[in-house]
Amino acid sequence: MYGFSVWSLLLILAIVVVVFGTKRLRNMGGDLGGAIRGFKDAMNEGEGKADHATGDKAEAKITEADADSEQPQAERKTDNERGG
């Protein structure tokens, strides 16, 4: 296969600069950097939401377990109130 030398890459870069111009290339680079930054932020935010959602589920299970353990006591109170 053919390999790219440094000179061929520089020639391609020079052609791209001539065709697009430095101002347009600068804007495209800034847009690309902003897109990458937004993607990284979204990935970090997604990981934070996943961790937060996992914590919420664990808390919900604990709350349900507490509610289940408290329910028989509430029923006993009503049975005692009826009988007494």
Q: Tell me, what's the pLDDT at 49? A: 74
Q: Structurally, how many domains does the chain consist of?
A: 1
Give the three-class secondary structure for 82.
Answer: helix
Domain that residue 40 falls in: 9-83
**What six digits make up the tokens of 40?**
């990284």
43 domain-assigned:
yes
User: Can you give the pTM of this predicted structure?
Assistant: 0.43
3 domain-assigned:
no
Higher-pLDDT residue of 32 and 60 is 32
* pLDDT score of 41 more than 80: yes
Q: Tell me, what's the pLDDT at 62? A: 60
Query: Rounded to whole angstroms, how far apart are CA atoms 70 and 59?
Result: 16
Q: Tell me, what's the pLDDT at 46? A: 80
46 domain-assigned:
yes
pLDDT, mean of residues 52-76: 56
Chain-centre distance for alpha carbon 10 = 38
The CA dihedral of 51, 57, 61, 62, to the nearest 10 degrees, is 40
Query: Rounded to whole angstroms, how far apart are CA atoms 29 and 16?
Result: 13
